[in-house]
Amino acid sequence: MLKPSLSVRRLSTTMKATNSDGERLKMQREDLLFSGLKVLDVGSWIAGPVAATILADFGADVIKVEIPGSGDAYRGLAIAPGTPDASINYTWVQDARNKRSITLNLKTEMGKTILRQLAQECDIYVTNHPLHMRRDMGLTYDEIKSINPDVIYASLTAYGEKGPERDREGFDLVAYWARSGLMDLVRSPNSPPAQSVPGMGDHPTAVSLYAAIVTALLRRERTGKGSMVHTSLIANGVWSASCIASAVFADGDFSNYPKVAARHFTRELYETADNRFLQFTMVRSDEEIEAFFRVLEATHLLEDPRFNSRRARVTSGETLAEELRPLLRRHDAGHWISAFNQTSVPVSLVGTLGDLSEDPQLKVNNIIKPPAEDVGTEWVINHPLNIDGLPVQGVKKAPDVGEHTDSILHDLGYSDDEIETLRTEGAI
């Protein structure tokens, strides 16, 4: 078995750079907030790794650990059946940017040895490996802490760190969306529960994990102590549902929910002549309601006893909506948006994904941004964290599988011959 030819030491304030690749990264990141912060991304798919992506955007040196050969299974999502076809691996470009990749076979002792060497010098260790896998491989918090007491160990699970389901695996569709009650809540009356889109719960959960990491970094700065931080998909799902879910713990009466809310005419969606849908949820005041009916040339409906008061419009909401539908089908969405805006009636177009690339609000608010180098697409979706005056790393190419294995091992002190032996033995 190989032994490292150079002892590993933890660098907390300066980035180790013993080759041109490392020097380039150092120069690019030296003015960024997390410059010099060393992060290990020991996970797969989205929620855990994307927390590391956000750290990378703010300058951290993130090393992604992948399986030799195939790499992270998330690399295959964009080519999976049912996803949009494109010329690039758009999900990987989006979520794996600004990282370096090393491949390690963690079923081998040498693969685990190298990972521990990397863990010994890292500031943050991010993982969403199932808990039973971490125990089997000797990669729990206590075991990582024993070699790096100052480490911040960020753990992402599906169902939490304790309890009978702590070892259970799960995607956001199941743990965040279905188990939390969101799937059941987000549907029209008499309709089946609604499915989520890929990553819909993973991405906000990644922001929660990032927030926990940054909180732990501040604690370490003040006390010198490392710590374990964790969150779960189910915790974030329940949190997202909390405006309604909290009523459960107040013995709330759900017999009329969501029937009453759905019955109010402003909660309905209305189709226009060009097959788009308009939303009027923000139409609330008496003045707005009167203006709404004026634009539709339907003020006579407000004189109808079924609709002549707020209570009556709720009681007869479904009937009122049916009266309104043919009126809104007379013109296309653009006509109605212009007409309603002229009278200050809040109206929203139900967006489609096709609208995003032409939406000026997304560009001016940095919700989408151009990459810093050619990644195969003109725009990349940004994470939702903005700190005025704080520079961020421009979007750079997401790594190929194991693209930086040799340079990372060189940083650890391995020679070319030793690296070749590791590759021959299947450790990398």
Residue ranges making up the domain that contains 89: 20-241+398-424
Rounded to 10 deg, the angle between the 416-424 and 405-412 helix axes is 120
Q: Verify that 148 and 275 share a domain, yes or no.
A: no
d(CA 323, CA 340): 18
**Residue 207, domain member (yes or no):** yes
**Residue 364, domain member (yes or no):** no
Name the 3-class secondary structure at 31.
Answer: coil
Nearest residue to 153 via CA among 269, 161, 351: 161
Measured over the CA atoms of residue 204, residue 157, residue 412 and residue 422, the dihedral's sign is: negative
Q: What is the pLDDT of residue 26?
A: 52
Q: What is the pLDDT of residue 12?
A: 36
**Residue where a domain terminates, one of 354, 383, 406:** 354
Q: Verify that 275 and 334 share a domain, yes or no.
A: yes
Q: Verify that 220 and 269 share a domain, yes or no.
A: no
Q: What is the pLDDT of residue 8?
A: 30
Q: Verify that 419 and 284 share a domain, yes or no.
A: no
**Residue 29: which pLDDT band, with cuts at 50, 70 and 90?**
low
Burial code (b: 16+ CB inside 10 Å, e: under 16) for 117-154 equals bbbbbbbbbbbbbbbeebeebebbbeebbeebeebbbb
- pLDDT (mean) for 34-44: 96
Whether the pLDDT of residue 104 is over 90: the answer is yes
Mean pLDDT of the chain: 90
**Residue where a domain terminates, one of 335, 354, 373:** 354
**Residue 186, domain member (yes or no):** yes
Q: Verify that 237 and 295 share a domain, yes or no.
A: no
Q: Verify that 280 and 402 share a domain, yes or no.
A: no
Q: Verify that 228 and 268 share a domain, yes or no.
A: no
- pLDDT (mean) for 178-200: 87
Q: What is the pLDDT of residue 117?
A: 97
Measured over the CA atoms of residue 133, residue 136, residue 141 and residue 145, the dihedral's sign is: negative
Q: Terminus-to-terminus CA distance in the chain, angstroms? A: 14
Q: What percent of the chain has pLDDT over 70?
A: 92
**Residue 375, domain member (yes or no):** no
User: Strands 368-369 and 380-381, how do they pair?
Assistant: antiparallel
Q: What is the pLDDT of residue 185?
A: 87
**Residue 22: which pLDDT band, with cuts at 50, 70 and 90?**
low
- pLDDT (mean) for 40-52: 96
Rounded to 10 deg, the angle between the 109-121 and 405-412 helix axes is 70
Q: What percent of the chain has pLDDT over 90?
A: 79
Q: Verify that 102 and 206 share a domain, yes or no.
A: yes
Name the 3-class secondary structure at 298.
Answer: coil
Domain count, the chain: 2
DSSP 227: E
Whether the pLDDT of residue 67 is over 80: the answer is yes
276 vs 7, which has greater pLDDT?
Answer: 276
pLDDT digit string (tens) for 329-371? 999 999 999 999 999 999 999 999 989 988 999 999 999 999 9
Whether the pLDDT of residue 142 is over 70: the answer is yes
Q: What is the pLDDT of residue 402?
A: 96
Spell out the residues 6+ positions from residue 89 whose beta carbon is closer than 8 angstroms to its own. 75, 78, 79, 398
**Residue 2: which pLDDT band, with cuts at 50, 70 and 90?**
very low
**Residue where a domain terminates, one of 323, 354, 385:** 354
Q: What is the pLDDT of residue 23?
A: 52
**Residue 226, domain member (yes or no):** yes
Q: Verify that 264 and 237 share a domain, yes or no.
A: no
d(CA 133, CA 375): 34
Q: Verify that 141 and 91 share a domain, yes or no.
A: yes
Whether the pLDDT of residue 46 is over 70: the answer is yes
**Residue 59, domain member (yes or no):** yes
Looking up residue 276, the CATH number of its domain turns out to be 3.30.1540.10
Q: Verify that 224 and 277 share a domain, yes or no.
A: no
Q: What is the pLDDT of residue 321?
A: 93
- For the chain, the 3-state helix, strand and coil shares in percent, each to the nearest 5, are 45, 10, 45
Q: What is the pLDDT of residue 262?
A: 52
Q: What is the pLDDT of residue 9?
A: 30
Looking up residue 184, the CATH number of its domain turns out to be 3.40.50.10540
**Residue 236, domain member (yes or no):** yes
Q: What angle do CA 121, 99, 427 make, to 5 degrees?
A: 65
Q: Verify that 237 and 343 share a domain, yes or no.
A: no
**Residue 5, domain member (yes or no):** no
